[in-house]
Amino acid sequence: MVKGSTVIEMAYIIPLFLGLFVLIMHAVFYYHDKAVLNGAAGETAILGAQAARRADTEYDLESFFEERTNGKLIYMTDTDLSISETEDKITVSVSARRSLMSMEISQSALIVKPEKNIRRMR
């Protein structure tokens, strides 16, 4: 073996290891942000469904979502929130994007009205 061949080999291998480490960290940050956004969208949809049942309560769902995600996102901090409400369902859709990576999350909650079913049964 010639002297200095180890240095040459390491000059090829170390950048590969560092690149792999960076890719793994990006994947970890991506899935962390996905879990945070998924949980916050689900909580927002459930709160909206509960608020729709009660006529005397009104929640600002967008600020509730922002409160749930404020300071918790690591990689994808630029999010777009869309809340749609139909007669029987509330859907919270979130899209986040950073450079080449993007994600779209949608969570729904049914607006159940058990009072109507109970009254029909009597």
pLDDT tens digits for range 45-77: 999 998 887 877 788 999 999 999 999 999 888
3-state secondary structure of 80: strand
- In this prediction, residue 58 carries a pLDDT of 80
Query: Does residue 1 surpass a pLDDT of 60?
Result: no
DSSP count for the chain of H helices, then E strands: 3, 3
The pLDDT score that the predictor gives to residue 2 is 64
Q: What is the pLDDT of residues 13-34, one digit of tens each?
A: 999 999 999 999 999 999 999 9
Q: How many structural domains are present in the chain?
A: 1
Give the Cβ contact number of residue 44 at 10 Å. Answer: 26
Average pLDDT score, the chain:
90
33: exposed, middle or buried (Cβ count in 10 Å: 0-12, 13-18, 19+): buried
Spatial separation of the C-alpha atoms in residues 16 and 55, rounded to whole Å = 60
pLDDT at 70: 93
Per the structure, the complete domain to which residue 86 belongs is given by: 5-121
pLDDT of residue 53: 79
